[in-house]
Amino acid sequence: DGYRARAAYKLKEIDETFRLFRPGQVVVDLGASPGAWSQYLRRRFAPKVAGVGGAATGELDGTIVALDLLPFEPIDNVHFIQGDFREDAVLAQLEAALGGQPVNVVVSDMAPNLSGIGSADAARVAHLVELAVDFACSHLTPDGALVAKVFHGAGYDDLVQLFRSQFQAVKPSQPKASRDKSSETFLVGRGLKRRP
């Protein structure tokens, strides 16, 4: 279908289950490289126009901002920022790209380079998910949503609790497109809880 990675089908399944995306939204794609999720979003926001290699081209009804530490082959009308969004300079670029628009959905396929040492890897995964939650809580509309990749194992229950502390509705999703032996799960949080 012209996608850069099979990950596109995971997001497609999540979208079909939870109906997260519709034209006109503002979406931030964290850990975006190589770009399959942004490609899927691009098609959702311009469903009638398919270009070369399956990528939608032309007018985009919505805003997609993609970030990653790794390079990213350009996608038409997707704003890509290379860098670490924990850094103020990168966050400033992101704020500029959003132009003051609140974000409807944050998607995070971020994963650390795994060492094979369970406890260290779990801590790295948890840290990235915590960053995604913090970012989402600062930028989402009140009824916005966050989709973040997590792994079953040490720390999983803590991450579910973190989601529940911030979102009104939290559901796990294990797309069929994930590899059979994969321990990855995606947590979907919807509707920010009101701050006291």
pTM score, two decimals? Answer: 0.91
31-47 per-position pLDDT tens digit = 999 999 999 999 999 85
Total count of residues recorded for the chain: 196
**Strands of the sheet with 140-151, listed across from one edge:** 79-82, 63-68, 26-30, 103-108, 140-151, 184-192, 167-173
102-139 per-position pLDDT tens digit = 999 999 999 888 788 878 888 888 999 999 999 999 99
156 backbone φψ class: left, alpha, beta (φ>0; ψ -120 to 50) = alpha
Active site residues: 149
Question: For the chain, give me the number of helices (H) and strands (E)?
Answer: 5, 7
